[in-house]
Structure 1
Amino acid sequence: MSETLWQPSASIQVLKQKAQIINKIRCFFAQRQVLEVDTPSLSQACVSDVHLHSFSTTLTGPAAPHSQQLYLQTSPEFHMKRLLAAGSGCIYQIAKAFRNEEAGRLHNPEFTMLEWYRLGFDHFALMDEIDVLLEQALGWQHAERLTYVEAFERHLGINPLSATQVEFIESAAAFNVADLVAQETERDTVLQLLFSLGVEPHIGQQRPCFVYHFPASQAALAKISAEDPQVAERFELYYKGVELANGFHELTDAAEQAERFARDQHSRARQGLPPAQIDQRFLAALSVGLPACAGVALGIDRLLMLALDESRLQAVQSFSIERA
């Protein structure tokens, strides 16, 4: 083992700058009377999204004499929405999240997430607030806004909602993945591949960019648009080719949410993934009533990486997974 691996990944100066920025974020929410909360990192349930992979562990001993499987949260979302249903009002959290995925320039299995929920907001009002936060905390310019369709049409010349398989293959040829696209049966997988190769590298280069109104099939936990049922009231924020945030005008219908979880389970089965342990407590909270709200999860490490002009996530983390 290298004699230097005991040292932090980030310099002490960067850690001081990080603390200052996080303090500005906390002041921003305090000024708006948004309550800071703290929710569990361990849960008895996990997410069903086929693109998210949870770490699991086993609880043994007096707390669980027959042993119990627990999961590290990929996001504090479900617990926070249970607080909203219990009457918390507007809330935010700066929390550790865990995803069992690759470690690289933009990924670490353990990372810091800023997540917040605003009652009475839709996705447009929340994008407005994110703009103000980033301007006040980091001095960034206000973000450009593009619909998902506009982003595809501008950078790939196709409409993602109506494009044919032939058009997808033709677009994929420019990135040498035509054969892969031709064999893929999941339309959303093709869209995500083309978005990552043909759209992400070009948007938000000079200033941040919101992409909103994703296909309804990619709604996750967002409402479907009442004006256009082909799209969901969901947005993502990009800057310099990096995805920073994912936000929703939140779905509040428990029955619809249960149906989406069921569809996720079918997708997991088709892809050979184990079934997810669905969060029944979250569904119960939705049944009682989640207030109309919008919410967003923002990657603090990626935000700081860009704000401090670093090239790797690890440069703003005290100890990356290689040094943990």
Structure 2
Amino acid sequence: MSLATQWQPSAKLDVLRQRALIIKKIRQFFAERDVMEVDTPTLCHASVTDLNLRAFSCRFDDPLSPVVTQLYLQTSPEFAMKRLLCAGSGAIYQLSKAFRNEEAGRLHNPEFTMLEWYRPDYDHFMLMDEVETLACAILGTANAGRLTYQQAFIQHLQFDPLLEDMASLKRLCESRGYTELALAETDPDILLNLLFSQHIEPAISQHQPCFVYDFPASQAALARLNPNNPLVAERFELYYRGVELANGFHELSDASEQRRRFEQDNKKRHQVGLPTIAVDEFFLAALESGLPPCAGVAVGVDRLIMLALDCQHISQVLAFGYANA
């Protein structure tokens, strides 16, 4: 494509008008529920330790200081929003740009729009109800189905991810054509994620959105563990047409446990040759002061709009996608 045409928007103008109406609808949804919109920094002093997320970094050369500061483009506004919750903000939401230094393709753009919101005194089931109300209204679908992570594996792969051992997991991977990876891999979550993405995500949500909840405790991220079943975390994800749309938690509020998880992430990063990431001490200090009981969720807005408008590529709903940004 030549520059004579490449300067044009990635999305058709009619799609951008429909996108604007959907964004307006999202804001109206929260206005009706008295949830305050907030705006937190895009550039931050710390980033996430999660092995599955790669942040963009940059240098701040302050002309008034001899110190060069490394800053990160946020992968999510989560830490800053939780600091607001700790300060007493009450229910909040944010529509913001997020950045991930990963792939660019049909479902991924390095810069994307994220909707994130937090509800004090909600658990993950109450928040799933609210996510369902918003997502189904925008997608124009019936209510969402619900499966536990364990049920999804048993139903689609005849395998119990909570009780089976690593040897059984490797045999399952080999039977599905992943022999080389199964022989080399030592982390069961990597194999579970592979099976989930290739054999469960495409199957559970073709005709209606579907929540998967109660993820293994090893995949808790920033979620609480279930007090009645320590094998699972109070986390959920929402899928539609094989696309992950949302990731939500009954939020972990224990600062010591959160620090332990960050440190464990960094140990794993070191083991696989990734750089360690300094933990966000502002966030941990906020947790020490007290995070109210709450649930939170992040929704990929571009993907949501893409599915709502029956587009096939994320660039079709962006003014300018990665290729001509």
Cα 1:64–1:114 shift into 2, 3 Å: farther
Amino acid at match of 1:91: I
Whether the aligned pair in 1 keeps the contact of 2:245 and 2:299 (CA below 8 Å) is: yes
Contact 1:28 1:133 in 2 (8 A): yes
Counterpart of 2:55 in structure 1 is 54
Deviation at 1:174, TM superposition (A): 4.4
Name the residue aligned to 1:105.
106
Aligned ranges 1:168-183 → 2 under 5 Å: 168-183=169-184
Check the 8 A contact 2:174/2:182 in 1, yes or no: no
Quote the Cα distance in structure 1 between the aligned partners of 2:94 and 2:166.
Answer: 42
Using the size of structure 2 for normalisation, the TM-score is: 0.97
Partner of 2:10: 9
Distance 2:184 2:195 in 1: 14
Report the Cα distance in structure 2 between the residues aligned to 1:135 and 1:195, rounded to whole angstroms: 23
Residue 279 of structure 2 corresponds to residue 263 of structure 1? no
Paired residues of 1:85 and 1:291 also in contact (CA < 8 A): yes
Residue 67 of structure 1 aligns with an amino acid whose one-letter code is V
The Cα of 1:64 is off from its aligned counterpart by 4.3
* 1:240 is aligned to 2:241: yes
1:20 aligns with 2:52: no
Is residue 2:316 matched to residue 1:308? no
The residue correspondences of 1:187-266 to structure 2 (distance < 5 A) are 187-266=188-267
Q: Which residue of 1 aligns with 2:31?
A: 30
Q: What is the total number of aligned residue pairs between the two structures?
A: 324
User: Could you tell me which residue of structure 2 aligns to residue 42 of structure 1?
Assistant: 43
TM-score normalised per structure 1: 0.98
Residue pair 1:143, 1:210 contacting (<8 A) in 2 also: yes
Q: What is the correspondence of 1:263-282 to structure 2 with a 5 Å cutoff? A: 263-282=264-283
Aligned-partner residue type, residue 49 of structure 2: S
Assess, with a 3 A threshold, how the Cα gap between structure 1 residues 63 and 148 changes in structure 2: closer, same or farther.
farther
For residue 170 of structure 1, report the CA deviation from its aligned partner. 3.1
1 CA distance for matches of 2:154 and 2:172?
A: 11
Q: Which moved more, 1:266-275 or 1:170-179?
A: 170-179
Matched residues in 2 for 1:181 and 1:236: separation?
25
1:151 paired to 2:152: yes
- What does the per-residue CA deviation read over 1:71-128, in whole Å, with 9 as the maximum and x for residues that have no partner? 0000000000000001110000000000000100011100000000001000000000
- How far apart in 2 are the matches of 1:149 and 1:78? 29
Q: Is the 8 A contact 2:114 2:299 kept in 1?
A: yes
Give 2:138's aligned residue.
137
Give the Cα–Cα distance (whole angstroms) in 1 for the partners of residues 302 and 38 of structure 2.
20
User: Identical aligned pairs, as a percentage?
Assistant: 57
Counterpart residue identity of residue 89, structure 2: S
Query: Mind listing any 5+ residue stretches in structure 2 that lack a counterpart?
Result: none
Q: Which runs of 5+ in 1 are unaligned?
A: none
Could you tell me which amino acid in structure 2 is paired with residue 78 of structure 1? F
The corresponding residue for 1:88 is: 89
Q: Which moved more, 1:2-11 or 1:25-34?
A: 2-11
CA contact (8 A) 1:175 1:197 kept: no
Whichever residue aligns with residue 3 of structure 1, its letter is A
2:138, 2:308 within 8 Å by CA — same for their partners in 1?
no
Whole-Å separation in 2 of the counterparts to 1:151 and 1:178: 22
For the residue of structure 2 that corresponds to 1:112, the secondary structure is: strand
